[in-house]
Amino acid sequence: MFKEKYYELIDKAKLQNTDDNIVYEIHHIIPRSLGGTDDKSNLVKLTPEEHYDAHYYLWKFTNTPQMAWAFWLFNNFKGRKISREEYGELRRQAAKASAELQKKPVYCLELDKVFPSMQEAAIAVGARKDHSSYIGEVCNKKHKACFEWKNGLRYHWCWPKDIEEFKKHKEELLYEEAHRKELTIKKISEARKGKAVHSKTVTCVETGQKFNNLKEAAIFCDGYSSNIKYSAEQGTPYHGYHWKLDGVEVELKEKVSHWKGKHLSEEMKKKMVVSKSNVLKIKCIELDKIFDSARAAAVWLGISPSAGSYVKEKALKKEEYRGYHWEIIEKEKQKIRCIELNKIFDNARAAADYLHRSSGSYILEGIRKNLPCYGYHWEFVD
């Protein structure tokens, strides 16, 4: 009985729920926890009340713990029981408030520009429009800044009514952002003055910089203090630096990755040899050192090879990662073509900017694997 009611509700919604002025929620006809996908054929627009009923029917006819938990969430809001009608009213009010907030104009300090809405502002700086709520949180002083721009620095935002007051503190805000790490280290040091520090001082061998404790060193290299301590005791590098603990003398050496080849089958090794020509080389600008792949760069940094994707992404954005700047030296500088649009771009980044996407790395990945990306097929132009 409940199964028939469920699919009757779904079929009715597919035909009737087309009014753009009504608040709808997207529902997976076959829930993802039961094997459903995000394909359009598995999605349907439901009103809040219909969404509530749909999960009630799912709970009844599937009799699974996943659907029991999902329906429980509909009936418990911050520890208080709510009814079907209350849930519908709550969702509509929340949707209205969110829509009104998204339409509010915002000012960007770095660009010295007022944007008509937070969504337009997010797109203008290369972020996703559904992440525009972060701008509102900055305007409400929940965070200092959001969305990275050049050299890893972030944008500052405010409501138009606060522009004059905001500009008075421009130099202070820009200085805080440019020296974020140093100021955080100083703040920790001042907070610990007069208190017993249970960690020894540590020195970065390459830079010669001395830190009062492991926590300060961890902030400097975006790492973990326990890993710095272990590397200092072993004499191996961590995040590209060698570390020296006060009173601990060890021989410095290069780290040999324990990952290398151990987790790969013979078949996978053969595949990697065949596809080696497609691997992108990475250059560390400060050290003028070239790595055969982003994974190799990650291993050199003393982190998992899977973190190579972060190295590659930062290289494409020309941003700092683990204390160094990186650069792609093969193929990224080649022109690429969007097959469907028959449009040629200077590089993957330019193509991503054209589509209002934050990174071109997915486009390059699609070319190497011969898969579509962002709804289009791509190829390198010789």
Q: Is the pLDDT of residue 89 over 90?
A: no
Comparing 190 with 230, which gets the higher pLDDT? 230
* 225 in Cβ contact with 215 (< 8 Å): yes
Residue 157 pLDDT: 92
Q: Is the pLDDT of residue 125 over 60?
A: yes
* 108 in Cβ contact with 160 (< 8 Å): no
Helix (H, G, I), strand (E, B) or coil at 302: coil
Q: Is the pLDDT of residue 68 over 70?
A: yes
Instruction: Tell me which residue of 71, 78, 79 sits closest to 52, measured CA to CA.
Output: 71
Structure tokens at 303: 């982190």
Mind listing the pLDDT tens digit for each residue in 159-206? 998 898 888 888 888 888 888 878 887 777 776 665 544 457 888 888
Residue 276 pLDDT: 45
C-alpha pair distances (Å), 236 with each of 205, 244, 248: 11, 10, 13
Token look-up 């998204």 returns 102
Q: What is the mean pLDDT of the chain?
A: 79
DSSP string, 97-142: HHHHHHTS-EEETTTTEEESSHHHHHHHTT--GGGTHHHHHHHTTS
Mind listing the pLDDT tens digit for each residue in 319-357? 788 878 888 775 445 788 888 888 888 888 788 888 877
How many angstroms separate the CA atoms of 370 and 382, rounded? 17
Mind listing the pLDDT tens digit for each residue in 194-216? 554 445 788 888 888 888 888 88
| Mean pLDDT value across residues 57-67 | 81
How many angstroms separate the CA atoms of 23 and 4, rounded? 25
Helix (H, G, I), strand (E, B) or coil at 175: helix
The single-letter DSSP state of residue 325 is E
Comparing 254 with 36, which gets the higher pLDDT? 36
Residue 59 pLDDT: 83
| Mean pLDDT value across residues 128-148 | 85
Comparing 67 with 279, which gets the higher pLDDT? 67
Residue 106 pLDDT: 93
Would you call 153 exposed, middle or buried from its count of C-beta atoms within 10 A (0-12, 13-18, 19+)?
middle
| Mean pLDDT value across residues 109-117 | 90
Residue 198 pLDDT: 47
- Is residue 278 very low, low, confident or very high in pLDDT (cuts 50, 70, 90)? very low
Structure tokens at 170: 């421009």
